[in-house]
A and B are shown apart, each in its own frame.
Chain A
């Protein structure tokens, strides 16, 4: 297997994530698509680490930081979704117009 195979897989997952984030109406669906994009970036980091810098672990360390920040992001995002749902009783993003004035 070459580095290109892993990069192609990362790119494919990223495209699926972008498509989901652009087309889903459900806010939790958008959050799930964003998680897919984070995973695509992590695959690329681990692949570059494995093929271009076999002895080092810096790429994996960066991927670990991304996993941590993604966990924080999804926790705060889901708490915000719950708060918005309590106020407006909808999960569809086109109905989120609280800030429109």
Chain B
């Protein structure tokens, strides 16, 4: 029990700290590095939930690919003078209001589920996930590969030098 609590609170602290740094830091490259930290914290939350395959996929795809891709693109964009410009718009009060209203609703919902305690010990999930992907979800699995192919072609098309 106490191990569960330590895992949850440490990983939640990492994820939330990284997320706050993502939205507040002025330098976009620092934001991207904080995003990597936050995504690694979320991976730790998945591990605490017993989702072992999701933990590995999160580290491989999000931390290893998406965060690094964002850092690469940030190195191609922008100028040095961006560091002295304001990085947030003037709508922060309205945004804070929206967040407060949404937050009250979300935390009331979370409180409804507060009594549901720990379930049975978790088992390895890779084999059941593979059976599900190639069984019930095989159509979604094939469709998502088509989506990835379309994204690949779209990225090549849009980033080509003679693109419209």
CA distance A8 to B33 in the complex (A): 24
A2 close to B117 (CB less than 8 A)? yes
Per-position contact with A for B19-30: 1 when CB-CB < 8 Å, else 0?
110110000100
Across-interface contacts of B48 in A (CB, < 8 A): 1
Q: How far, in Å, is A28 (CB) from chain B's closest CB?
A: 6
Q: Which residues of A contact B (CB under 8 A)?
A: 1-9, 11-20, 22-26, 28-29, 31-33, 35-36, 39, 42-43, 46-47, 49-52, 54, 56-58, 60-61, 63-65, 67-76, 78-83, 85-86, 91, 94
Residue of A at shortest CB range from B71? A28
- Chain B contact surface mostly: helix
Q: Which residues of B contact A (CB under 8 A)?
A: 4-5, 8, 12, 15-16, 19-20, 22-23, 28, 31-32, 35, 38-39, 42, 45-46, 48-51, 53-54, 57-58, 61-62, 65-66, 69-70, 73-74, 76-78, 82, 86-89, 91-92, 94-96, 98-99, 102-103, 106-107, 109-120, 122, 125, 128-129, 132-133, 137, 140, 144, 147-148, 150-152, 154-159, 163
Across-interface contacts of B112 in A (CB, < 8 A): 4
- Chain A contact surface mostly: helix
B132 close to A82 (CB less than 8 A)? no
Across-interface contacts of A80 in B (CB, < 8 A): 158
